[in-house]
Copies of this chain bind each other. A is one copy, B any other.
Amino acid sequence: MAAAAPPPPPTPAPSAPTGLPDSDSTPVGHPLFTRIRLATPLDIPHIHKLIHQMAIFEKLTHLFTATESSLASTLFKSPPFQSFTIFLLEVSAHPFEKDSNFHSQSFTPIERIFNLDHTLIDPEAETFKSGINSDVVVAGFVLFFPNFSTFLGKPGFYVEDLFVRECYRRKGLGKLLLSAVASQAVKMEYGRVEWVVLDWNVNAIKFYEEMGANVLPEWRICRLTGPALEAYRDAI
């Protein structure tokens, strides 16, 4: 697809994230522990399933031809942020164990606790289980990569896809994922974060504008693909 999936509508999250716990703040109610980390090749089966769910959500399964194999051969070929990069969103009913595998020089996982009004039922918890001996499940992802503004003379990030599984929507997790990309862009002194939205998706547009984005009314995407692209094989 060519666009970020519509985010959760801009209804207020039931409760704001409380940040990392410290000795004085034990989460109450129904805490949802969330973590954003860099995806690895081991996550490809989950990523493939998430993309497929996104295609179903957008009624675009006829355009879905990605396979685990095609993802494996094109993703994770460059250091994080230099090319196609995926932040994975994981959730758990319990605090995350420290996993040094997910800490790198380029990115330290982000953890937030959301205090919910009730316990979430995830009907696909088994399918999206992350790791063997834990209750951690994969709840969403964002795929982005550097783009370039010649006017600014510097790079930015383009967000290709943002997706949160259905039972985790409307809680602020989509905003957390997009904020993570924006924060990373600022850290790297990049000039912009861009993505696209469908013009009729007024909820998404309102949500993005509330996050500080401008929607550019005049630009249209041009796409050369399929046989029309193939025609250029011997054109040069």
The contact of A51 among B150, B185, B199, B221, by CB within 8 Å, is B150
In the bound complex, residues from chain B placing their C-beta under 8 Å from that of A155 are: 74, 84
A179–B228 Cα distance when bound, in Å, is 11
Cβ of A185 and Cβ of B216 under 8 Å apart? no
Q: Please tell me how many copies of the chain the complex holds.
A: 2
Residue from B214, B222, B225, B229 in contact with A196 in the complex, judged by beta carbons closer than 8 Å: B222
Task: Give A106 to B223 CA distance when docked, in angstroms.
Answer: 24
Does more than half of chain A's interface fall in helix, strand or loop, or is it mixed? mixed
A window 190-217: CB within 8 A of B: 191-200, 205, 208, 211-217
Given the known inter-chain contacts A63-B151, A83-B82, A152-B66, please indicate yes or no for A212 contacting B228, CB distance below 8 A. Answer: yes
- Given A182-B224, A192-B229, A222-B214 in contact, is the A145-B143 Cβ separation under 8 Å? no
Q: Which chain B residues border A208 with CB–CB below 8 Å?
A: 222
Query: A71 interface residue, CB < 8 Å from B?
Result: yes
Question: By the criterion CB–CB under 8 Å, are B82 and A219 in contact?
Answer: no
A24 at the interface (CB under 8 A from B): no
User: What B residues does A26 contact at CB under 8 A?
Assistant: none
Contact B147 A160 (CB under 8 A): yes
- A residues touching B (Cβ–Cβ < 8 Å)? 1-4, 51, 54-55, 60, 63-67, 70-71, 74, 78, 82-84, 110, 143, 145-156, 158, 160-161, 179-180, 182-183, 185-187, 191-200, 205, 208, 211-225, 228-233, 235-236
Question: Would you list 29 pairs from A and B whose C-beta atoms are within 8 A, ordered by A residue?
Answer: A1-B151, A51-B151, A64-B151, A65-B152, A66-B151, A66-B153, A66-B154, A67-B153, A74-B154, A84-B148, A145-B147, A147-B158, A183-B233, A183-B236, A192-B225, A192-B229, A193-B223, A194-B221, A194-B222, A194-B223, A196-B221, A197-B222, A198-B219, A199-B219, A211-B224, A213-B228, A214-B225, A215-B222, A219-B220
